[in-house]
Structure 1
C-alpha cells in the first residue's frame, strides 16, 4: 500500500493542485470517457500519434514585470543622471525579447561610464529587471534551462530582487535541480518571510523531495497570511491536502480538498487528488467520479487520464472495471504527456492486461520496468511476471481511513 501511495503522491509534488466535489457513483455501463475522445485500441495509433508538449511542473505563467522604481531626485541633472533616466524610460516600454536585449546592451554601456555609487546601483537595478524580464519570456516559451542564465544574472545584479529569486527557483525546479531550487526559495524567504508564492513553491518542492511534514508547515504559514476569500487559498489548501495524504492522514487531506472545492469547485487537478484519497479509502465509485469530473474540467489532464485508466483496469471491485475505457484513457495520457514515464506505461500495461491483451501488456510493462524508480521497481517486476503468465493485475484492498 505504501508503494501505491507513492504512485499517487509523486505526480503532484511540484505543481499547485485543487479539486471539485463530485461524489455521485456511476454504474458500470455509465463509465465512459467524454464524447470528444477519439476511441482507438490500436497500438500503432499510440506509437504514431503526434504528441503534444508535456505540461510544465510549475503553473506560473510569466507576466510583464513592473519596471524598477525610478531614480529619486538628486539635485542637478548631470549627463550621468540623464543616462540613468533614459534607461528607466526604456525599461518602461521594453516588452519584447529584442527590446530587452537592446536595453541590456545600453545598461552595460552606461555602467561602464558611471562612477557615482547611487547611479551605478540604479543602473544595476534596471539591468537586473531587464534580465529577469527576458528570462521570463524565455520561460514562457518552455525553455527553463535557457532562462537560467538571465535569471541568475538578474539575481547577481540585485541580490534582493525577490521576484527574480522566485522565478529562478521555478526555472531550477523545471530544469530538474530541485535541491538548488529549494535553497533559492530559502534565500527568497529570508528576505521576504511573508511571500505567499515563495511559501507555496517551497511546500511543493519539499513534498517532491520527500518532506511532507515541512510542506505542511509551509502551507500553514501561507494560509495564516491569506484571508478566507484570497484567490490563492484553494491552491494552498490542496497542496497541504496532498502533503497530508503523503503522511497517511487521509481525513485531514479530505477536509482540505473539500474546503478547496468549496472555494473553487472547478480546479481539475484537485479533483484528481481527492479521487486518490477516495481510492485509498475504498470509495472506488467516488474516485472514478472525481477522475471523470477532473477530465470534464480539464480535457488535457494527464494525471486524471492515467488515474482513471489505473482504476478502471485494476479496481478490486470487478463491476467497476472497464478494460476498453482504461485502454483509451491510458492512450490519451501517453499522447498528452509527450514522452514516456513509468506511471503512464504501468497504467497502459495494466489496461491491456485487463482486456486480455497480454502480449501488449508485457511489451509496455517491460518499458515501464526500465523507467521505474527504486520504490516501484519490485512491484513493477511482479506485474510483468503476472502478464507473462497471462494474468491481469488487480489492486489490493484499500487502506483503513487513518485518524
Structure 2
C-alpha cells in the first residue's frame, strides 16, 4: 500500500485516515486532597511526597479537560511519567498510566493531523516524520493501557500508511473487539481488505458500517467497488445510486460508476462519469487516470483522443505521483496510443517493478504489444446494463 495517504483507495486516503475525537479516561477522577493551612508570608511551604504526587495528577487531569496542542499533551504525559517514577499506590499508578495513555493517543492524533496538513502542502518528507512520531505515540498509549480501543484504531491507520497492512488489520480487529460499534474501524478494515482483493470480507465490513450509519456514502461506494469485483453489478449500481442521492456531487461515486460502465462497454456513459468525477474534484488523480485510459484504449475510435489521453495521464501523475503501478500502466498506454512505443516500454517496466503478482501477466502482455509497436485496446464489449437504474 502506498505511503501516501490512503486508504484506501487508500482514497486510501481520504478516508483509510479519519480520526474521531478522543475521550478522557472513563470514570477517572484525580485523588482528593485536604486543603492546606495558610503559611505566613515568606515561610517555606513543605509538601509531602504524597501531596506532591496528588498535585501533579490534579494538574494533569485539569489540563486534560482543555488540552488541544502537542505541547499541552506533552505536559500531561510528563506529569504522569513523573508520578510513575515514584513509589506510590497501585490506584495512583493505574490512574497515571490511563491518563498518560490518553495523552499519548491524543498527541499522536495531533501529529497525524499535522502530517495530513503537510501532505496537502506537498511537504511529504516532513509529513512522514510526523507519521512516525504518531505511530510511536499510539504504540506507547497501548503499552500503558491495553484497553484503549482508539489507540489500536489509530495505530492501525498509521501502520496502514507505512504499508504494514496485516499488522494494521490486526489492530482494527482488536479495536472492533473492544468497540464493536466503531464506524471508522469497520470502514478502515473494509478499505484494506478491498485493497488486498478480499472482496467478500470487505463487503461484509462495509455492510456493517451501513447498519450503524445507513447514509455513509463512502461505504456505499466502497461496497459498490467490491461488488463490482465479484460481479454483483446490479447491487453495485444500487449502492452508487444511493450514494448520489445522499450527495449528488460525490466524485468517488461518479468514478466508480464509470468503472462499472467500462466493464459493460458503455463507453459514452463511462466518459461522462469520468469527466464528472474529474470536474467535481480536480484533485482526484484516479479520475484523470480513468479519462486517460478510456481515451487511449477504447476499441471505438470516436472515443479515443491521443493528445488528451496523454495530458490526462500526465495530470494523474502530477496529482498522485508515480509510485502506483496502475497510474504508470495508464501513462504507458497513452504513450503507446501516441506512437511513443519506446517511452511506453520504459514506463511500463517501472509499473511492472511496482505491481503485485496478480497484475504481472496483463502488464507483460501489454509490454509485448508495445515492443511490437502496437497500442493496447480494451476488448470489444456489447454495451449492456444489468439494471434499468436512473442516472
TM-score of the pair, normalised by structure 1: 0.80
Q: Does 1:200 align with 2:187?
A: yes
Partners of 1:196 and 1:236 lie apart in 2 by 10
Q: Are the aligned partners of 2:7 and 2:16 in contact in 1 as well (CA < 8 Å)? A: no
Partners of 2:175 and 2:55 lie apart in 1 by 33
SS in 2 for 1:376: helix
How big is the shift at 1:263?
A: 0.6
Distance 1:312 1:62, change over 3 A: same
Q: Which residue of 2 aligns with 1:337?
A: 320
Q: Does 1:278 align with 2:261?
A: yes
Q: Which has the higher mean CA deviation after the structures are superposed, 70-79 or 318-327?
A: 70-79
Structure 1: gaps of 5 or more residues:
1-10, 18-54
Q: Are the aligned partners of 1:13 and 1:207 in contact in 2 as well (CA < 8 Å)? A: no
- Within 5 Å, give how 1:232-247 maps onto structure 2: 233-247=216-230
Q: Which residue of 2 aligns with 1:81?
A: 54
Q: Are the aligned partners of 1:58 and 1:170 in contact in 2 as well (CA < 8 Å)? A: no
Partner of residue 72 from structure 1, selected from 7, 19, 29: 29
Q: Which residue of 2 aligns with 1:373?
A: 356
- Within 5 Å, give how 1:80-229 maps onto structure 2: 80-113=53-86, 115-140=88-113, 141=115, 142-143=127-128, 144-226=131-213, 228=214
How big is the shift at 1:269?
A: 2.0
Partners of 1:145 and 1:239 lie apart in 2 by 28
Q: Are the aligned partners of 1:129 and 1:154 in contact in 2 as well (CA < 8 Å)? A: yes
Partners of 2:77 and 2:6 lie apart in 1 by 38
Q: Are the aligned partners of 1:309 and 1:325 in contact in 2 as well (CA < 8 Å)? A: yes
How big is the shift at 1:98?
A: 2.9
Q: Are the aligned partners of 2:206 and 2:222 in contact in 1 as well (CA < 8 Å)? A: yes
Partners of 1:258 and 1:12 lie apart in 2 by 24
Partner of residue 366 from structure 2, selected from 380, 383, 389: 383
Matched length: 352
Distance 1:398 1:158, change over 3 A: farther
Bigger relative contact order (CA 8 A; separation at least 6): 1
Distance 1:357 1:212, change over 3 A: same
Partners of 1:114 and 1:84 lie apart in 2 by 14
Partners of 1:328 and 1:362 lie apart in 2 by 18
How big is the shift at 1:398?
A: 4.0
Structure 2: gaps of 5 or more residues:
35-49, 116-126
Q: Are the aligned partners of 1:306 and 1:347 in contact in 2 as well (CA < 8 Å)? A: yes
Q: Does 1:14 align with 2:17?
A: no
Partners of 2:315 and 2:210 lie apart in 1 by 36
Q: Are the aligned partners of 2:16 and 2:187 in contact in 1 as well (CA < 8 Å)? A: no
Deviations 1:130-179 (A, max 9, x none): 11122122222133333211101111212221221111111111111111
Deviations 1:5-35 (A, max 9, x none): xxxxxx9972476xxxxxxxxxxxxxxxxxx
Q: Which residue of 2 aligns with 1:312?
A: 295
Higher Cα Rg: structure 1 or 2? 2
